[in-house]
Amino acid sequence: MICFAWFRHRHREPLDVRPFDLLCLTVAVVLAVHAPHMPAWLSLALAATLAARWWQRRRYGGRAPIALKIPLVALLSGAVIFHYGNLFGREPGAALAVGLLVLKLLETETTRDARVGAAFSCFALMSALLFDQGMVATVLVALGLLPALATLRALEPAHAATPLPRELLPALGLLGASLPLALLAFLFVPRLSTPLWGAPNTGQTRTGLSEDMSPGDFTELLVDDRPAMRVTFDGVLPPPSQRYFRAYVMWNYDGRRWSHLGTGGAPGEVEHGSVLTSYTVSLEATGQRILPALDVPVEAPDQARLSSDHEVLSASPVNATLTYSLRSASSYRLEPQLDERERRRGLRLPAGFNPRTLALAQRWRTEFGNNDKAIVQTALKLFHDGGFSYTLAPAPLGRDAVDDFLFSTHEGFCEHYSSAFTVLMRAAGIPARVVTGYQGGYWNELGSYLLVRQSDAHAWSEVWLPGEGWQRVDPTAAVRPERVDLGAAAAAAQESAGWSPGQWWLGMRNQWDVVNRWWNQGVIGFDTLRQHGLLTPFGLHDTDPGMLGLLLAVGGSLFAALGLLWAMWKRPANDPVRTSMQLLERRLAALGVVRRHSEGPQHFFIRATRALPTHRAELEVLMRTYLELRYAYDEPPAELLKNFRQAARDFRPRRMVK
């Protein structure tokens, strides 16, 4: 009963300054980790609320009035609903949780409040992994636990305040000590084949490539450095001129936008030689069914199919990193025979758009007659010699976008050139279509794979020539050949400044991707199938949940035993408190008060006061001092320790009462 009353009093006593400061730091870290996927105005508002509460408690103390808390909670809920449309789902749920955590500080005044806040901070911190499970994000989340652990440690009874770095160091030690147990749990806790909830993973399913395209759509994508896929080749790495990864084939054009026609029908005929390129693609999550493939794929991987335009389509959207193997032909004839329906589709143009472009193409047809190749070369020469420039910040285009581009602005990037070239070809009577995907990539020597980033997104054209079928034509390469060799951003930088800045940084970034690839394969990609094959090198080809549980129990027991041995080995050889206590025990034992093996110090001192009533006051002081030194401090104050040692030496019991 006394212990319960002390516990209740302890949790109701006012919170010291240091634990509250550490709790504010913990909440600030949680807010910083979640800020990238929260609206900026909400993050700033919560940060301002956090700072105001910290200042208010430092200046005046006490809880915020309930008349302020209730409107703030209602305002937070309304803001989340206003931005996201509801309170349910990953993004609105995370925003609401972080907001409530910040508002919890308004009523944090006791030890119990601080413990609740620290525990909820850990939960909110872990929820950030729902948005990004990359290595950097995981390390940041782990380090974000340090102020939470320091807060809990600062709430211990009689904890002496130390400088902030000293507060975080023990928490860092605790975090490091937990890593072996975390590794055991990662390897041996049985994994579910499906997640516990079905929240859409929109935060990791953005690729930039879509089923339609208009000039200017790729602007943000071309400066996006996130990896799109990693490709390993079974043989020789293809040269840059052959690193075209086909995604969407677009037929429909409405005067502004190109769109994907559909995926029905059998794959078109493709004639190729015996030399094929075999490779494996590790595709990042896109949320789409399209699987980029080296131009042109001759077969589909498992759980996928080829469309009529030789697009590779997965059976389901790619919501997690997907690995698939393919074979492609770099020398081919795609659909050498074109039926009348597809010919009409490849020549269709909307009426009333781009009259100057149509007139130019018809003049070429009159000049070159049936020589389609000459028309293609003339169009490429126009781009090469006509004063066109490659830039990621082109001038805006009007209703007749192709006319404006060809005869006025003369600047743009791959979308502009492929769109204008395809319109020219159709206007000249040559079937043509737009293809989007990726081109180029960085060959990582250390990891022996081709790293393709979102900034390598590209658009080119395909024209149908008699006897040759669909042939790839890249008009952007006619304007800026460096786009094929260097990539979009580097080519634009050379065009604008004459050199590409930061090449050393780009090289370091691309080399670092080896670590990201290892993380994706070894950590994020460690699924149920890989867990069941974990012990294959040891002759166990299918590790069932029972075996995993046994391994987890054995590993946990070994970890606990090692921890116990370490704690025993690390016990200080010279414990002045224990040495002084042993002196007291020897002197009391000489008078017949022998401490039993199972007897606690408090019970021992109480029994000694009964046996030696003349020394009651002295023994009670020694008992209180010993209990405070042993249980109230991590590092006992030097002055208190000195006093106890002196009192133990001065204690001289004279007789025992029976």
Catalytic site positions: 414, 458, 474
Q: Is 656 helix (H, G, I), strand (E, B) or coil?
A: coil
Q: Which residue has the tokens 């904890």?
A: 159
Output the six-digit token pair for 123.
Answer: 């939960």
| Distance (Å, whole) CA 127 – CA 141 | 9
Selection from 294, 262, 254, 264 nearest residue 277 by Cα: 294
What element of type H or E holds 373?
helix 372-385
Q: What letter would DSSP give residue 110?
A: B
| Distance (Å, whole) CA 192 – CA 211 | 33
**8 A C-beta contact, residue 440 and residue 411:** no
Furthest-apart CA atoms within the chain: distance in Å: 130
Give CB contacts under 8 A, 24+ apart, made by 390-393: 390/476, 390/479, 390/480, 390/483, 390/491, 390/492, 390/495, 391/492, 391/495, 391/496, 392/219, 392/222, 392/223, 392/488, 392/489, 392/492, 393/219
Q: Is 251 helix (H, G, I), strand (E, B) or coil?
A: strand
Give bridge partners of residue 253 from the DSSP assignment.
258
| Distance (Å, whole) CA 518 – CA 574 | 47
| Distance (Å, whole) CA 456 – CA 224 | 9
Output the six-digit token pair for 500.
Answer: 């590409």
| Distance (Å, whole) CA 506 – CA 288 | 28
Give bridge partners of residue 245 from the DSSP assignment.
294, 438
Selection from 246, 256, 245 nearest residue 213 by Cα: 256
Angle 517-518-522 from CA coordinates, rounded to 5°: 125
Give bridge partners of residue 458 from the DSSP assignment.
437
